[in-house]
Copies of this chain bind each other. A is one copy, B any other.
Amino acid sequence: RALHIALMPGDGIGQEVIPAAASALRTLTTSLPHLSFTFTTLPIGFQTFTETGSALPDKTVETLQKECQGALFGAVSSPSHAVKGYNSPIVGLRKKLDLYANIRPVKSVGGKAKLEIPGVDLVIVRENTEDLYVKEERSFDGGGEIGRVAEAIKRISERASRRIARMAGQIAVRREEMRGNKKGMVTITHKSNVLSQTDGLFRSVAREVLTGAEFAGKGLVVEEQIVDSMVYKLFRQPQYYDVVVAPNLYGDILSDGAAALVGSLGLVPSANVGDTFVVGEPCHGSAPDIEGKGIANPIAAIRSAGCMLEFMGEIEGARRIYDAVDEHLREGTVTAVDLGGKAGTAEIVEDILKRL
């Protein structure tokens, strides 16, 4: 299978970690000769915005849609204050390509990372198109004492809740099968005790899907957790959780929280998944503080290449990438700076590639 993959490094350390991920894909083809990759680099991000007036040029979207089967996205810098006309391009991309599911696996591997909590193996399945991310905001003068007022819409639809719940259920079933006898579980996260209509809709549709015909007899356990208490539990008993499904914003917050459990944001990958396209994306940001120093941890990006393959149906390629990274972490002779070691990006990449 010949795959044409777009590389969108974006800003900051995106420029350092996306090439690393691409080299992992390239290396993979030597042991999996049925796979081949060609790459196109596409502009995106704040730098692109300052150069072209758009953080997500039409041409980038067009090329993705017409020429590519998948993509890897790095990170973009947020301006430190509101800049007219600037909009987060990754949020735009998710919407334009209808990448409705953001899948974020968080797993401890028994590595040497000081802050890794053992036994964590969960997946955050984040709705990726709506909630407050519809970005419908307005501002007005509230009058007198009140001053300026701004409002944003949080929108939840049955359709989006249904498809994200299905995705969560399917992932839980697949994980259950891989693990053998341990039951799959999906935890629905919401705040319906306050937002009875919006989060109430998400909750009831997700519950309906996960306890409905499609998953009957699959042994899925379906639970719920209010979002504040979910964050608490995530830190108290992370080993308990399997698949966590959440509306967009809660999913965003929960996945950063979960990243803290495995030692660093620099380890956590994601896939933005739609029905016909997948974009792999490390969960970390552009990290301006370490940009250009050659010490960015490439693992989140490399694992994201694995996630991209997994959701493109290339399970074997994905598995090899995951295994090579896990082995690298477990051995722990070459350790990234964010995990308390001294190894630079290039050294880590080399150590992972040789295990592929």
Contacts and interface: CB of A to CB of B under 8 A. Distances in A.
Interface of A: 78, 81-82, 88, 91, 115, 132-133, 135, 137-139, 142, 145-159, 162, 191-198, 200-201, 204, 226-229, 231-232, 234-236, 249, 252-253, 255-257, 259-261, 265, 285
Nearest to A254: B231
Contact of A201 (B115, B148, B285): B148
Contacts of A158: 142, 146-149
Contacts of A201: 139, 148-150
Given A132-B195, A133-B194, 10 more contacts: A82-B192, A132-B154, A135-B195, A137-B196, A146-B157, A149-B157, A150-B197, A228-B256, A229-B256, A232-B259
A155 B159 contact: no
Contacts of A255: 228
Contacts of A196: 82, 137
A319 B115 CA distance: 35
A92 B319 CA distance: 51
Contacts of A150: 155-157, 197-198, 200-201
B229 A257 contact: no
A193 B155 CA distance: 18
Given A252-B228, A257-B231, A194 B88 contact: yes
A224 to B, nearest CB: 9
A154 B151 contact: yes
